[in-house]
Chains A and B, each alone.
Chain A
Amino acid sequence: DIQMTQSPSSLSASVGDRVTITCQANQDITNSLSWYQHKPGKAPNLLIYDASKLETGVPSRFTGSGYGTHFVFTISSLQPEDIATYYCQQYDHLPWTFGQGTKVEVK
């Protein structure tokens, strides 16, 4: 199975800050990587797919980059509504696997 190592596990930032989350795969997954936002009690929400493509309707402050084994997710200017847990997921090989999640809080 492909292991996805996501870091940090949690972070605290101020409104307006730039937030960066990384995801490392233990083998090449080309660009088959997505990022989801998950708020408690709600359905997860697709933000980024194919490593860098922004899902329709998602604010442009969310961006993704990377290829192969190293990926980066960025919120350019953190907003109060961005408080959530963020997950990366690889869909290059079954079984599809997720990172451990990054809980984002506002200072």
Chain B
Amino acid sequence: QVQLVESGGGVVQPGTSLRLSCAASGFIFSHYAMQWVRQAPGKGLEWVAAISGDGTNKYYADSVKGRFTISSDSSKNTLFLQMNSLRAEDTAVYFCARDTASVAARGGLIDYWGQGTLVTVSS
């Protein structure tokens, strides 16, 4: 069965960096686009970034563009989110999610989610 397990969350100071990982299993990783979605405390869901199954195309929300980088390693079935210049408003649970499409630009529909990892940005 499809499993997505996030890791790498924690408490960090503003301006610092953090790298999230998502270990995927139960499907052919390179056949699916992948996404990161976050949920700030007491708030709704916010799409963060997406990457095509072959890793070539990447898309970002304006709120993270230039600070966050999505990447993937198909040999390890792992999705990453490198988060730099972190701000208090980046505090959230970050979910890894599988898109139903292989090309991110034609996707957007999520069929599987992980349980999330909490990132807290605070001084």
**Chain A positions within 8 Å of B4 at CB level:** 43
Interface residues on B, range: 20 to 34
Q: Are B61 and A98 in contact (CB under 8 A)?
A: no
**Chain B positions within 8 Å of A97 at CB level:** 47
**Chain A positions within 8 Å of B50 at CB level:** 94, 96
From B45, B59, B105, residue with most partner A Cβ within 10 Å: B45
Partner pick for B47 among A32, A96, A100, CB 8 A cutoff: A96
Q: Are B115 and A94 in contact (CB under 8 A)?
A: no
Given contacts A43-B116, A44-B95, A94-B59, whether A55 and B111 have CB atoms under 8 Å apart is yes
Q: Are B114 and A43 in contact (CB under 8 A)?
A: yes
Partner pick for A89 among B45, B100, B112, CB 8 A cutoff: B45
- Which residues on B are within 8 Å of A, measured CB to CB? 4, 44-47, 50, 59, 61-62, 95, 100, 105, 107-116
